[in-house]
Amino acid sequence: MSSFIITSELGICAKQSVMVKFRGEAVNRQVHITYNSTYSVPVLWFNFYRRDGTPLSTSEVLEMSNNEDSMDITQYISLNEHPILGVLFYNIHPCKTKDIMNELTGKGNYIAKWLSVYGAPIGVLPPDALFTSKALSQRSEDASQSS
């Protein structure tokens, strides 16, 4: 698995690339997170590629994202030009994100909650450590000790 930040004059996005199984075949799942200034929310962009670099078809991507334990994203998913890379990527449209996130009450890491909702359909979940206050306070202590 590789994760890093892409920075360009068009913006910044977080990227993760990992191999996953699809119909017994190893495929590369690329996930990017950008910020949509119109809706003021993060946006999940993703694509799946075979080892030879060819992308999975839309029907295969929808099959990959058909997860009984998560929301049905087929009504929210679309194929659009990635705002930073300029190539076609699937994304979950951000129009309902603010409403959905407002329904999630309580304190906690916004990105962890958001990724739990929007990442789950394609198998991307936040690390458990993002949900524990102990892990968050430990990171704060580590940061203050190093400065």
Distance of CA 75 to the CA centre of its chain: 17
Strand ranges inside the chain, DSSP E: 2-8, 11-22, 25-36, 41-49, 77-81, 88-92
CB neighbour list of residue 110: distance below 8 Å, 6 or more residues apart: 101
Q: Are 36 and 43 in contact (CB under 8 A)?
A: yes
Edge-to-edge order in the sheet of strand 77-81: 2-8, 11-22, 25-36, 41-49, 88-92, 77-81
Cα–Cα distance, 70 to 53 (Å, whole number): 28
Active-site residue flag, 95 = yes
Active-site residue among 19, 88, 95, 125?
A: 95
Active site residues: 95
